[in-house]
Structure 1
Amino acid sequence: MKNTPALSELLDECRDSTPEWTPVYDAFVAKLRRGAVAENAPKVGERFLDFAIPDALGRYRSLTELVSDGPIVLSFNRGGWCPFCHGELSAWGERVDALAAAGGRFVTITGEVGGRAERLRDLIGPDASILCDIDHGLALSVGLAFHCDADLQQRYRACGLDLADIYGGPGWILPVPATFVIDREQTVRFAFADPDFRVRAEPDDVIAVVAGLG
C-alpha cells in the first residue's frame, strides 16, 4: 500500500479549516448523544437487515447480491457536500486496491439525489458501488438517521446548503455516518457508528478486519 495519511489526519484538517463551527457541532452532537441516536444501529454478530435499493444509475442492488462474492465494507455517508464525508471517501479511494487484495469490496450509501451520488465516484474510483438511500429509508430502518433541528437548518441555509434540495425532500433528515464489514452470511463483523460525524473508522483498521475473514 502506498504511503497515505491516516483518515484522522484528514478529518483534523477539516476541523481546523472551520473552527467557527466547532462549538455549533459540539452542542449538536451532545444533543444527539442525549437522544441515544445510533445506539440501536447493527452490532457485531448481528445479521444486517437485507435490503434492495437503487444504485447511482438506478439499478436495484440487494445486500444478498452485494455479499455473494465475498465480504463488503458498507459505508453510510452524508454526501459529497459534507467535508468530513469527502475526506473519508477520498481516504477509501486511496485504499480500494488494498481492500480488494484483502478480499473485500467497498459499497457506499448516500441519500443524495439529482446525480450527486454518482459524482462520488471521482473520490472512490470506478469499482466501488454507490447506492442511493432515497428519503434515508434504509438509514432510518437500521437506526442511523435523525431529524436535523431548526438551529442547524438555519445555519446550513445561511451557508447556502439546502438539504431539502440535496436529498430531494423537505424532511431535513440526516444519516449518521457509519461503517460496517458484512460477510457472505450477511453477518456484521465490524461496526462503527458515532453520532459525531467528525469521527470515522480508520480504513486500515477496517481492511485488517476484512483480511482476517479470509
Structure 2
Amino acid sequence: MKTLFVLTCTLLFSFTLLAQQQAQGGLKVGEVAPEFTGTDLSGNPLSLKNLTKEGPVVLIFYRGAWCPYCNKYMSQLQESLPQFTEKGARVIAITPETMESAEKAVEKTSATFTVITDSERKIMKDYKVLYTVPENVLGALEGYGINLTESNGKNDNVLPVPATYVIGKDGKVKFVHYDENYKQRASVEEIIANL
C-alpha cells in the first residue's frame, strides 16, 4: 500500500513539473479573451460573444473525468452555482475529452453548468493552457488505468493546465488562476470577488 502511495505521489509530482516545462503560460488580467464557439453536451451551440452579453463568464479548464482533483473542483463549483447565478455569471467548463468521457465527469460531479469538449484543441491553445504529456508519463498513467487516447478520442496526448478565468461583459479577462500544480485551484471566494 505504501509503495502505491509513493508511486502515485511521484507520478503527480512529475505531472506538475511537466506542466511547468511545457504549458503555454496562460492569459493575463486585462487581455481580451479570445472568442470561441462550441457545442454543449446537449448539442446546443454557444459563443463567448453571446455569453458575455448576458453577464460575466467563469471559464474553467479541466483535464478529465479520470482526475479526482478536477472532479472535486467541478463538484465545488456545482455546489456554489447559486452564488455565481446571483452575480449573473455563467460557468463554462472546457475539456479535451470526448462527449462520452465528459458525460462521465458530469455524472460524477452532478454538474449542471455547461461543459464543452474542445476536440480541435483550439480553445485550449487560444487560452494558452495546452501542453503535451510525454510518452514516459503516458506509460505511467496507463499503469493506473488512465488512457488519454481513449478518454480524449485522439492520440495527441494533450491536457490543459486546470486554469480558471473570469471574463467580463466587456470581453476582457478580469481574473486568472493559472497554476501548473493541478492540485491548486481558484477558490469560489476568489472567483465571486472578481465577478
Q: Is this a same-fold pair by TM over 0.5?
A: yes
User: How do 1:199-214 residues align onto structure 2 when only pairs under 5 Å count?
Assistant: 199-210=184-195
What's 1:30 paired with? 17
What's 2:67 paired with? 82
Q: Is the 8 A contact 1:52 1:62 kept in 2?
A: yes
Change (3 A) 1:95 1:27: same
* Percentage identity across paired residues of the two chains: 26
What's 2:86 paired with? 101
Q: Is the 8 A contact 2:41 2:99 kept in 1?
A: no
- Tell me how far apart the structure 2 counterparts of residues 99 and 31 of structure 1 sit (CA, whole Å): 33
Of 35, 48, 62 in structure 1, the residue corresponding to residue 33 of structure 2 is 48
Q: Is the 8 A contact 1:80 1:116 kept in 2?
A: yes
In the TM superposition, residue 103 of structure 1 has moved relative to its aligned partner by: 2.4
In the TM superposition, residue 115 of structure 1 has moved relative to its aligned partner by: 2.1
Of 118, 123, 131 in structure 2, the residue corresponding to residue 146 of structure 1 is 131
Structure 2: gaps spanning 5 or more residues? none
Q: Deviations over 1:107-134 (max 9, x none)?
A: 11112114222344342543x1111111
- Tell me how far apart the structure 2 counterparts of residues 193 and 76 of structure 1 sit (CA, whole Å): 10
| Alignment partner of 1:168 is 2:146 | no
| Alignment partner of 1:184 is 2:169 | yes
What's 2:178 paired with? 193
Q: Deviations over 1:12-56 (max 9, x none)?
A: xxxxx9553222222332243244x242x2110000000112211
CA RMSD of aligned residues (A): 1.8
Number of residues of Structure 1 aligned to a counterpart in Structure 2: 191
TM-score (norm 1): 0.82
What's 1:13 paired with? none
In the TM superposition, residue 96 of structure 1 has moved relative to its aligned partner by: 0.3
